[in-house]
Amino acid sequence: MEALTGGLAGHGRADEREGWGATVFLQVIDPPAFAGVDTFMRQTGTVTEQCRASRPARAGVAVRMPGEKGLALAETQRKSGVQLYPSIMPMLEPWAAKLGVAMP
């Protein structure tokens, strides 16, 4: 990933730090242009099933697929709202007052 982010972007660990300094690599793949969506879903579905059937690294902790925790969190936030870190709202109050925006 380092080669695909920093290497292709031309800025990375070899350079002086400048603030956050994150780089991004985005790859877009069109399954229909290859073997098709059904084949893609069959192959990835089998890998998912095999992963879930494997012995977890820690007993009692289910094997998760990449992104699964984030998707579960997003669903919880859609239903219950986004829980902010306690210091965030007080930091937004001066901006709300300055911009004339009511605080929730």
State both tokens at 87.
Answer: 């210091």
Instruction: Check residue 95 and give its pLDDT.
Output: 96
Measured distance CA(5)–CA(83) in Å, rounded? 31
Measured distance CA(24)–CA(9) in Å, rounded? 8
Single-letter amino acid code for the residue at 80: S
Instruction: Check residue 49 and give its pLDDT.
Output: 95
Single-letter amino acid code for the residue at 40: F
Instruction: Check residue 22 and give its pLDDT.
Output: 77
Give 45-92 pLDDT, tens digit per residue: 999 999 999 999 999 998 999 999 999 999 999 999 999 999 999 999
Phi, psi of 94 (to 5 degrees): -60, -35
Instruction: Check residue 10 and give its pLDDT.
Output: 83
Give 21-38 pLDDT, tens digit per residue: 778 888 999 999 999 999
Q: Hey, where are the domains in the chain?
A: 1-32
Instruction: Check residue 46 and give its pLDDT.
Output: 97
